[in-house]
């Protein structure tokens, strides 16, 4: 079938687009910048559309040139990588962008949407693991904008007859990630034999999710989409660990001599954050690989990329 992937040049968008192409689907990639991967750009079933997601006219024009669309995967989002970003910027991309996608879907009779959201909608946990019914009290503007978008998606599903699945991700890591994260830091430090500084004495517990598992969740959501008008699922790694446990796992895999430094410094979150993914496992058939398996796959992918470059 033919599908649209918004943010097809981004970290998750590229991985998802590649998987959809491998399954034989035609993919219309909507993004403001060109995709950097030749294997995607040169694929016979990939059609790039340069789009400003914050402009309804731009999104409508792109939809007009897309043929027989069955699904929209909405992955594009403005993320909190810059402290200078204000609420208007988040609203323009994360909220108005969602509205523009929904309006265009209505105009061109696309009824199935799988939208990416974030654990940030929950804010500081009142209990862990957080299930889908956990109170939503975002701690930052990004989380607030994602929660507002979620409410709009729910409204359109309820009032406009669309079938929408929302996937809330924990922090995503993997090959080619565009935003540096803890896992990438660990792998890099261990490969170089550098010291590993762990804030909060390495006691903080997280459940980061590998990008391939997130792609798997999106593909399984295609099969679920339509069973209900609206569905929300947490997508985590299903293996919460302290930063110390994670660092030891990486050290073991790489046989690294890096020293672990348990620092008294506080991390930006400063508390345990991880979600309950049991609903996704039960209803979507979601089954993430183990942390160790994912690290091995990530390293293999990096080696393959280096070989291709050479």
> How many beta carbons lie within 10 A of that of residue 34, not counting itself?
12
For the chain, give the percent of residues with pLDDT over 90: 86
182-205+240-272+299-309 under CATH 3.30.360.10, yes or no:
no
Hunting for tokens 């399954």 — which residue is that?
23
**Interval 138-152 mean pLDDT:** 97
pLDDT higher than 70, residue 309: no
2-174+208-238+274-290 under CATH 3.10.580.10, yes or no:
no
- Tell me which H or E stretch contains 221: helix 211-224
Distance in angstroms (rounded) separating the CA atoms of residues 286 and 221: 9
Lowest mean pLDDT among 40-49, 104-113, 197-206, 291-300: 291-300
131 and 276 Cβ atoms separated by less than 8 Å = yes
pLDDT, tens digit, for every residue of 222-275?
999 888 899 999 999 999 999 999 999 999 999 999 999 999 998 877 799 999
Domain ranges of the chain: 2-174+208-238+274-290, 182-205+240-272+299-309
pLDDT, tens digit, for every residue of 50-104?
999 999 999 999 999 999 999 999 999 999 877 778 999 999 999 999 999 999 9
Between the CA of residue 137 and those of 32, 125, 133, 273, 275, what are the distances in Å? Answer: 31, 9, 12, 14, 15
pLDDT higher than 70, residue 24: yes
pTM of the full structure: 0.94
32 and 52 Cβ atoms separated by less than 8 Å = yes
Residue 8, Cβ density class (10 Å: 0-12 exposed, 13-18 middle, ≥19 buried) = buried
Q: Average pLDDT over the chain, rounded to whole?
A: 93
């Amino acid at each position: 079938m033919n599908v649209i992937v918004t943010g097809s040049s981004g970290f998750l968008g590229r991985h998802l687009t590649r998987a959809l192409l491998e399954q034989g689907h035609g993919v219309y990639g909507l993004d403001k910048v060109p995709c950097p991967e030749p294997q995607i750009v040169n694929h016979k079933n990939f059609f790039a559309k340069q789009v400003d997601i914050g402009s309804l006219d731009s999104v409508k024009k792109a939809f007009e040139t897309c043929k027989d669309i069955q699904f929209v995967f909405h992955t594009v989002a403005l993320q909190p990588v810059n402290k200078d970003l204000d609420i208007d910027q988040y609203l323009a991309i994360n909220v108005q962008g969602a509205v523009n996608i929904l309006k265009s879907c209505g105009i061109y009779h696309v009824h199935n949407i799988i939208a990416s959201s974030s654990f940030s909608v929950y804010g500081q946990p009142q209990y862990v693991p957080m299930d889908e019914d956990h109170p939503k009290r975002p701690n930052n503007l990004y989380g607030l904008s994602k929660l507002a978008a979620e409410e709009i998606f729910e409204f359109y599903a309820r009032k406009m007859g669309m079938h929408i699945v929302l996937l809330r991700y924990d922090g995503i890591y993997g090959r080619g990630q565009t935003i540096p994260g803890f896992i990438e830091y660990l792998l890099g430090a261990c490969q170089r034999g550098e010291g590993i500084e762990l804030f909060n004495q390495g006691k903080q517990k997280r459940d980061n999710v590998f990008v391939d598992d997130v792609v798997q969740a999106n593909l399984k959501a295609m099969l679920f989409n339509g069973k209900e008008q609206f569905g929300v699922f947490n997508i985590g790694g299903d293996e919460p660990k302290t930063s110390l446990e994670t660092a030891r796992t990486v050290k073991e895999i790489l046989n690294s001599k890096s020293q672990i430094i348990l620092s008294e410094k506080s991390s930006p979150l400063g508390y345990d954050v991880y979600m309950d993914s049991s609903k996704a496992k039960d209803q979507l058939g979601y089954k993430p690989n183990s942390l160790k398996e994912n690290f091995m796959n990530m390293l293999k992918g990096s080696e393959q990329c280096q070989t291709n470059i050479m």
